[in-house]
């Protein structure tokens, strides 16, 4: 639970001098108003918000012990270090008040209460991930357990793993915030999304009532045979492509081989005449002997005329011109 709620009078004074797990949620969140208020609280300009009239917060306080006992009864684990206050060994402005730790492991235990209409495992993990990663960083833990009781009578256990990259971002954002506290400069939102937790797939769900599921299931069923035939044809075409070929085409299909050896396919949508002209252009390249020196203006003009003939469909004439051009005896008049 938030550090300033367990022992109000003591924590309202102490929490001014460090950043706790609940503060990490605000610093990594998207509520600029809450961030500015937290900054003013740390500077002693305003008193911490009085949450005694917040029913959801009070329900969380009232169910914290029940949450812990329920977790122990359903998992067989034992929770220790209840409400223990710790500071980071190096970053003295960084601290945590733990709901507990799982005995026999280094897992941090966090108990929460959520309303049923605002609850999902993904939403709970996203909301409390900054706090979990902060607390794991403070105590050098590799895992954390989020135990959630909802107002709908549901209990959920979510296991979170330490994410070094996200923890680095959390520490960076908190360091910037603390500098703002010390320098009186207003902080700004950091704007980083929390990592997605890895959920264990254990549920079996009936999707019969979903219209979207029914629509895409029908498409999947209808196109499955065509998809299998397509994949088989793709494999056969790859096998038919010659080993030394960089590109192969024919019957409206072009295959290209990448430098890594992967073969990709594209549909050829241009006309046969355009394809014929493209092949002719490939043959009308600079002769290798001319690549060693810069060609003269007349040579470049003659080659341009030959390529123009190829693009207009006069491929035989262009090829004849190219042969004469390569022999060095062609003139503009002959083109």
Residues 244, 129, single domain; the answer is no
Q: Which two tokens stand for residue 255?
A: 């295959």
pTM: 0.57
Helix (H/G/I), strand (E/B), else coil: 115:
coil
Residues 136, 45, single domain; the answer is yes
Residue 249 lies in a domain: yes
DSSP 328: T
Q: For residues 256 and 263, is the Cβ–Cβ distance under 8 A?
A: yes
At residue 264, φ and ψ (nearest 5 deg) are -120, 155
Residues 156, 50, single domain; the answer is yes
pLDDT at 261: 84
pLDDT at 313: 58
Residues 37, 145, single domain; the answer is yes
Residue 201 lies in a domain: no
Number of other residues whose CB lies within 10 A of the CB of residue 259: 6
- Tens digit of pLDDT at every position of the chain (335 positions): 444 444 444 455 467 889 999 999 999 998 999 999 999 999 989 988 888 888 888 888 889 999 999 999 999 999 999 999 999 999 989 999 999 999 988 899 999 999 888 778 888 888 999 999 999 999 999 999 999 998 888 899 999 999 999 999 999 999 999 999 999 899 999 888 877 766 555 567 788 888 999 999 999 999 999 999 999 999 999 889 888 889 999 988 999 988 888 889 998 876 555 556 555 555 555 555 555 555 567 777 777 777 776 666 555 554 555 555 555 544 443 43
Residues 249, 291, single domain; the answer is no
Domain boundary among 252, 269, 286: 269
Residues 40, 171, single domain; the answer is yes
pLDDT at 54: 87
| Burial bucket for residue 114 (CB in 10 Å: 0-12, 13-18, 19+) | buried
Residues 7, 120, single domain; the answer is yes
pLDDT at 121: 84
Residue 199 lies in a domain: no
Residue 211 lies in a domain: no
Residues 275, 302, single domain; the answer is yes
Q: For residues 124 and 112, is the Cβ–Cβ distance under 8 A?
A: yes
Q: For residues 97 and 85, is the Cβ–Cβ distance under 8 A?
A: yes
Q: For residues 279 and 268, is the Cβ–Cβ distance under 8 A?
A: no
Residue 315 lies in a domain: yes
pLDDT at 153: 84
Domain boundary among 269, 294, 322: 269
Residue 162 lies in a domain: yes
Q: What is the CA radius of gyration of the chain?
A: 35
pLDDT at 163: 92
Residues 147, 38, single domain; the answer is yes
Residue 61 lies in a domain: yes
Q: For residues 93 and 18, is the Cβ–Cβ distance under 8 A?
A: yes
Q: For residues 280 and 318, is the Cβ–Cβ distance under 8 A?
A: yes
The domain in which residue 320 lies consists of 271-335
**48 closest CA partner among 10, 1, 77, 89:** 10
Residues 246, 329, single domain; the answer is no
Residues 138, 259, single domain; the answer is no
pLDDT at 332: 40
Residue indicated by tokens 């491929």: 315
CA atoms of 33 and 229, how far apart (whole Å): 58
Number of structural domains in the chain: 3
Q: For residues 115 and 149, is the Cβ–Cβ distance under 8 A?
A: no
Residues 75, 149, single domain; the answer is yes
Tens of pLDDT along 132-169?
A: 999 999 999 999 999 999 888 889 999 999 999 999 99
DSSP 141: -
């Amino acid at each position: 639970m938030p550090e300033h709620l367990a022992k109000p009078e003591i924590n309202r004074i102490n929490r001014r001098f460090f950043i706790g797990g609940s503060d990490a949620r605000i610093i990594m969140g998207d509520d600029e108003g809450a961030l500015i208020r937290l900054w003013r609280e740390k500077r002693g300009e305003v008193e911490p918000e009085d949450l005694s009239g917040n029913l959801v917060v009070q329900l969380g306080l009232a169910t914290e012990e029940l949450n812990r006992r329920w977790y122990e009864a359903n998992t067989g684990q034992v929770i220790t270090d209840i409400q223990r206050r710790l500071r980071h060994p190096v970053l003295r402005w960084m601290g945590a008040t733990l709901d507990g730790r799982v005995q026999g492991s280094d897992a941090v235990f966090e108990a929460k209460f959520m309303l049923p209409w605002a609850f999902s495992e993904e939403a709970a993990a996203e909301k409390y991930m900054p706090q979990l990663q902060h607390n794991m960083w403070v105590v050098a833990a590799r895992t954390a357990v989020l135990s959630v009781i909802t107002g709908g009578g549901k209990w959920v256990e979510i296991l979170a793993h330490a994410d070094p990259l996200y923890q680095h971002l959390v520490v960076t954002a908190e360091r910037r915030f603390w500098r703002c506290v010390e320098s009186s400069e207003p902080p700004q939102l950091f704007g980083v999304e929390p990592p997605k937790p890895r959920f264990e797939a254990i549920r079996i769900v009936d999707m019969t009532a979903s219209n979207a599921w029914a629509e895409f299931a029908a498409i999947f069923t209808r196109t499955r045979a065509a998809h299998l035939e397509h994949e088989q044809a793709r494999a056969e075409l790859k096998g038919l492509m010659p080993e030394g070929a960089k590109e192969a085409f024919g019957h409206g299909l072009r295959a290209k081989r990448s430098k890594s050896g992967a073969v990709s396919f594209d549909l050829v949508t241009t006309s046969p005449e355009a394809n014929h002209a493209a092949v002719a252009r490939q043959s009308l390249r600079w002769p290798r002997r001319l690549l060693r020196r810069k060609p003269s203006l007349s040579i470049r003009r003659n080659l341009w005329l030959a390529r123009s003939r190829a693009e207009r469909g006069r491929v035989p004439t262009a090829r004849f011109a190219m042969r004469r051009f390569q022999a060095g005896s062609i003139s503009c008049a002959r083109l």
